[in-house]
Amino acid sequence: MIVGGCDIGSTTGKAVIMKDGEIIASTIIPSTTKPEETARMAMDEALKQADLSSIDDLDYIVGTGYGRLKVQFAKENISEISCHARGAHWMSPTVRTVVDIGGQDCKVMSISDEGKVVEFVMNDRCAAGTGRFFEGMARVLHCGLDGISSLENQGAEPSTITSQCSVFAESEVVTLINEGSDLKNIIAGINNSVSGRLNSMVRKVGLVEDVALTGGCAKNAGLAKALEKHLKVSVKQLPHDPQIAGAVGAALIAVEKAAG
């Protein structure tokens, strides 16, 4: 059986094609202002990668993410919360807590042995602790997202950044820069402040190991390191790209749907 999962997020569009339980293609492209086109482009690229000539070769497609209603070729849409849980669980079956950090929000899911969501929390009306936040910080620090992520850049004495709002947090960082603070300490401070917020979200659903990070920001090594310090447990490394976890989850649900 060949199925597809398409995750249209605020910042990137992801498509995954799975055949008999294995990923045979996966793509990540920047989101456009037309979610239906982002979906089409991501899926076309995945089809090419999988050597498939047409979307009709897929038995079932599930859409997810903010643009899930605009994935016109999907037969059904499922929330990204359920999909990330499923995807992370498939990638690593021992995972019980999933921290999904996307472009414009973050979510923490507590999941069952079967990868089903038991409880979840989602950040509210604030971009702090999301991809958008890190992009803003990278701009102010002229260091690029890699600069924020790099483990070498995590200063030993993280600066204190307390603002709950990403705009005000940016002002705090500008103040630190102007006070002559060490850039590495500021970077560590940024990852530290986001980890603190994620920690309290994790505590709300209850910390159960293993913990995994998904979403684009899961690739921020500095953040993962800071989060481990806050949670006092290590974060499980997923054997696949954590950014496609939502699309993988959607494809796995597509298998179930196709089977009826």
Partner 1 sequence: METNIKSKTLDEFKTITGTMINPAVQEWKDNGGKVIGYFCCNIPDEVMTAAGILPLRLRGTGSTGTELSDAFYSSINCSFPRHVFNMALNHEFDILDGLIVPNSCDHIRRIYDNWLRQLDIGFLEMFNLPRKVEEPQVQWYKDEVHLLVEKLEKQFGVEITEEKLKNAIKLHNENRRLLKQIYELRKVDNPPITGGQMIAVIVAGTAIPRDKYNEMLKELLEDLKGAEGIKDHRARLMVLGGILDDPEYMDILEDQGGLVVTDSICFGTRLFWTEVSEEGDPYEAIARYQIQQRPTCPRSYGDQPKRAQYLLDMIKEFKVDGVIGERLLFCDSWVVEHYMNDQDLKEAGVPFLKLDREYILSGKGQLRTRVQAFLEMLGGK
- Point out which residues pair with 77 in neighbouring strands: 63
Question: Any contact of residue 80 with partner 1 (CB under 8 A)?
Answer: yes
- Name the pairing type of β-strands 106-111 and 97-101: antiparallel
For residue 61, the number of C-alpha atoms closer than 13 Å in the C-beta half-sphere is 26
Three-class SS of residue 77? Answer: strand
DSSP assignment letter at 50: T
Measured CA to CA in angstroms, residue 216 lies from 20, 130, 170 at distances of 26, 9, 20
φ, ψ (nearest 5 deg) of residue 160 = -90, 125
Question: Any contact of residue 122 with partner 1 (CB under 8 A)?
Answer: yes
Question: Any contact of residue 118 with partner 1 (CB under 8 A)?
Answer: yes
φ, ψ (nearest 5 deg) of residue 14 = -125, 140
Question: Any contact of residue 82 with partner 1 (CB under 8 A)?
Answer: yes
Stretch that binds partner 1, among 31-39, 90-98, 120-128, 139-147 (CB under 8 A): 120-128
For partner 1, the binding residue among 34, 48, 116, 139 (CB under 8 A) is: 116
For partner 1, the binding residue among 2, 78, 91, 224 (CB under 8 A) is: 78
Binding mask 22-61 for partner 1 (x = CB under 8 A): ----------------------------------------
Question: Any contact of residue 120 with partner 1 (CB under 8 A)?
Answer: yes
Shortest gap between Cβ of 122 and partner 1 (angstroms)? 6
Q: Which residues bind partner 1 (CB under 8 A)?
A: 66, 78-82, 105, 116-120, 122, 124-125, 253
